[in-house]
Amino acid sequence: MVHNIGKEVLSFCLDIDINEIKDDANMYNLIEWDSLSHIKIVLEIEERLQRELNTEEIIEISDLESINKLFT
């Protein structure tokens, strides 16, 4: 399995098995991803990056791809 930090973040924040997270995961097809979970996701990303995200970055977080993009 290829390392996917976005899947790790979603698994941790949404409390779901990493293997259940599909490559097209987004805030609309994961029922666990609600407004409170979104805050958890933002905070977890900031902790892992060791910096605060700016408003534009936070707004753009809507799917697995956008999370992974922050780590590249």
| Pure H helices in 4-63 | 5-14, 35-49, 55-60
Integer CA distances (angstroms), 4 to 13, 35, 54, 71, in order: 15, 23, 23, 10
Task: State pLDDT tens for residues 38-69.
Answer: 999 999 999 999 999 999 999 999 999 999 99
* Number of domains composing the chain: 1
CATH classification of the domain holding 44: 1.10.1200.10
CA distance 42 to 55: 11
**pTM score, two decimals?**
0.91
Task: State pLDDT tens for residues 4-44.
Answer: 999 999 999 999 999 999 999 999 999 999 999 999 999 99
- Amino acid 1: pLDDT: 40
